[in-house]
Chain A
Amino acid sequence: MNALMAKGLLFAAILIGATVYVVNSMHIDLSDPINLITMIGAVAIAVLTVGVSIKYINQMKTDTASGELAEENWDGIGEYKNELPGGWAYSFLGTLIWAMWYFTVGYPVNSFSQIGQWNEEVKAYNAKFEEKYKNPNQETLEDMGRSMFLVQCAPCHGNTGDGLSGKAHDFVDGRISKKQVLDVIKKGSNQLGYQMGAMPANMVTGKDAEEIAAYVAGGMKGKQPASFGVCAGCHGADGKGMNGMAANIAEYDENLITHVIKNGKHGAIGTMPAFHDRMTPVQLKALATYIQTLRGE
């Protein structure tokens, strides 16, 4: 063992000793695997540092110049001809092959895009939503409906659904006012996209219209006016719209809410924009459920 080796071992011992001292003084718990691995790493760095240093110091002391000089030199300073190391050559070839894959398949197909990320996010969310709300109960629907109402509907219909003093339809006070019914009877309607098609204007007029309006606005209770037969042709004798063929004028069912949300509505009060593509069928059902709970009796 030469003197250099002895000095190296001493230096390594000092480094390891210092490491152990720091570990002890900081009360580091070596039973934790992360701490232990870090400690082993620190010792390995000390050993490798000394080992590599000794190798190169020895080499500097004993090595002599050898090999064939390259033809080129710069102000008399030349260099030896060195073969390209095998590892380098193979990695270079490897990068060439990788580049071909990257330019043709990797970048165009697997590249990141915000839109792609959005698509994935929405897909994952929708799958989760469908799974979670496959068979929602009444309470879940009301909660979901309330939160949607507060975000999407409240700016016009008000947080409580009271229509903000006539700025929009009032869900609390009653279903539909006499004025609104008369407006529809007078102008007809073809905006909700029902299968039954357009409702012509002025099917009934004068006293008959007044009677019908009062009857519908009053919640379709009491004696049905004789002239309601005209309405019953499409809306059904009970006013429920014949299973979704025409608008349900007796109550806010899911079908009616869906058609209004999808097509928007222009009526006696003002214009409601369409909110199509913003809600899933479950959400529409939730909204209908919630709106039905708003009505104070």
Chain B
Amino acid sequence: MFHWLEKNPFFFAVGVFLVIAFAGLVEILPNFAEASRPVAGLRPYTVLELAGKEVYKKDNCIACHSQLIRPFKSETDRYGQYSLSGEYAYDRPFLWGSKRTGPDLHRVGNYRTTDWHENHMWEPTSVVPGSIMPAYKHQFTNVADIETAYAEAVTVKNIFKTPYGDDIKAGKEAWEAYKPKVLAEAKAVAAQMKNKDVKDMVAAGKVPEVVALIAYLNSLGAKRYEAKK
């Protein structure tokens, strides 16, 4: 019946490829689609947190810190619940990292606070005596680019249907209308900080990088989920 196929090696190879490729798709795609959906209750990053994520990338935190807790008892004891793929649904790109010179940060918001991060970024050895992490004092004076972060939110909303509210939309006017919300969020973070320059900058309508970064770090963990009450 299929002797004609045996006489046509090219079509035979194509046929074999199709059969195997189909089997592969059937096995891979459903799992992949399931795992890439956001886990229940996950909210997208706020604009300030997105700005902080940019700082995280810019200052190359990923070189020393991972954001992926593997399902091993030793790791879940130290960092909390193991990571699920759906938790990275709004991470573009995800920041898993591949090396832990410092600890994992995927749930750092659960067990560190704003003032701790402030002390730590200013002088790491002041809170962790043996730390080899460098100080990031420039983050206290550099201004974070919240406008680009807003543009990122608009982009992922339009392209990937990330569920942001209606108030995030393209255009200068929309941004001007939204900006006070970002500044209010930054003020809430700065209120828990001690550095006077940072407070002054926020009061003057600028967001220092450290404020955005701390907002981002605080969001890692339970605060990424919609409040349940």
Chain A interface residues toward B at CB < 8 A: 114-115, 117-118, 121-122, 125, 151-152, 155-156, 159, 164, 167, 270-275, 278
Contact between chains at A118 and B80 (CB < 8 Å): no
Whether A159 touches B127, Cβ cut-off 8 Å, given contacts A151-B78, A270-B113, is no
**22 residue pairs bridging A and B, Cβ less than 8 Å apart:** A115-B71, A115-B82, A118-B72, A118-B76, A121-B73, A122-B73, A125-B73, A155-B127, A155-B128, A156-B113, A159-B129, A164-B119, A164-B127, A167-B116, A167-B119, A167-B126, A271-B114, A271-B115, A271-B192, A273-B112, A273-B113, A278-B80
Q: Is the interface of B mostly helix, strand, loop or mixed?
A: loop
Q: Which residue of A117, A118, A152, A167 contacts B111 across the interface (Cβ within 8 Å)?
A: A152
Closest to B3 in A: A72
User: What 0/1 pattern do residues 124 to 157 of B give for CB contact below 8 A with A?
Assistant: 0011110000000000000000000000000000
Min Cβ gap B172→A in Å is: 37
Separation in Å of the B34 CB from the closest CB of chain A? 14
Q: Is the CB of A273 within 8 A of B111?
A: yes
Is the CB–CB distance between B112 and A270 below 8 Å?
no
Complex interface: chain A residues within 8 A of B113 (CB): 156, 270-273
Set of chain B residues within 8 Å of A273, measured between Cβ atoms: 110-113
Q: In the complex the two chains form, what is the Cα distance from A156 to B129 in whole Å? A: 11
- Residues 64-81 of B, flagged 1 when their CB comes within 8 A of A and 0 if not, give 000000111100111010
- In angstroms, Cα B78 to Cα A115, docked, is 17
Q: Judge whether A167 and B71 touch: CB under 8 Å.
A: no
User: Shortest 5 CB-CB distances between A and B: which pairs?
Assistant: A118-B71, A271-B113, A270-B115, A114-B71, A121-B73
Contacts of B116 in A (CB 8 A): 155-156, 167, 270
Q: A115-B82, A164-B127, A167-B119 are in contact. Are A155 and B112 (CB under 8 A)?
A: yes
Question: Which residues of chain B have C-beta atoms less than 8 A from A115's C-beta?
Answer: 71, 82
- Give the CA-CA distance A155 to B112 in the complex, in Å: 9
Chain B residue nearest to A117 (CB atoms) is: B71
The number of inter-chain residue pairs (CB within 8 angstroms) is 50
Contact A167 B73 (CB under 8 A): no
A155 to B71, CA, bound (A): 24
Q: Which residues of chain A are within 8 angstroms of B111 by Cβ–Cβ distance? A: 152, 273, 275
Specify which of B112, B116, B119 lies most central, judged by the most chain A CB atoms within 10 Å of its CB.
B116
Q: How far is the CA of A155 from the CA of B102 in the complex (A)?
A: 13
Contacts of B115 on A, CB cut-off 8 Å? Answer: 167, 270-271
Specify the chain A residue showing the minimal Cβ separation from B70: A114
Within 8 A of A (CB), among B168-200: 192
Bound complex: CA of A122 vs CA of B127, how far in Å? Answer: 31
Chain B contacts for A118, CB-based, 8 A: 71-73, 76, 82
> Do A121 and B72 have beta carbons less than 8 Å apart?
yes
- Cα-based distance from A121 to B77 in the complex (angstroms): 12
Q: How far is the CA of A151 from the CA of B77 in the complex (A)?
A: 10
CA distance A156 to B73 in the complex (A): 24
Which residue of B is nearest A271, CB measured?
B113
Q: Are B126's CB and A164's CB within 8 A?
A: yes
Q: Residue A167 contacts which of B72, B80, B114, B127 (CB distance < 8 angstroms)?
A: B127
User: CA of A160 to CA of B182 in the docked complex: distance in angstroms?
Assistant: 39
Q: In this complex, what residue of B is CB-closest to A269?
A: B115
Set of chain A residues within 8 Å of B78, measured between Cβ atoms: 151
Expressed in whole angstroms, the Cα–Cα distance for A221 and B178 within the complex equals 56
Q: Which residues of A contact B71 (CB under 8 A)?
A: 114-115, 117-118
Minimum CB–CB distance for A282 against chain B, Å: 14
On chain B, the residues within 8 Å of A167 by CB distance are 115-116, 119, 126-127
Nearest B residue to A273 by beta-carbon distance?
Answer: B111
Excluding A121-B73, A155-B112, A155-B127, 20 further A-B contacts by CB distance (< 8 Å) are A114-B70, A114-B71, A115-B71, A117-B71, A118-B71, A125-B73, A152-B111, A156-B127, A159-B129, A164-B126, A167-B115, A167-B116, A167-B126, A167-B127, A270-B192, A273-B110, A273-B111, A273-B112, A273-B113, A278-B77
Query: Which residues on B sit within 8 Å (CB–CB) of A271?
Result: 113-115, 192
Find the B residue at minimum CB distance from A119: B71
In the complex, what residues of A have CB within 8 A of residue B112's CB? 155, 273
- Measured CA separation A151–B80 after assembly (Å): 13
Q: How far is the CA of A275 from the CA of B222 in the complex (A)?
A: 12
State the CA gap A155–B129 with chains docked (Å): 9
In whole angstroms, what is the CA distance A270 to B192 when docked?
8
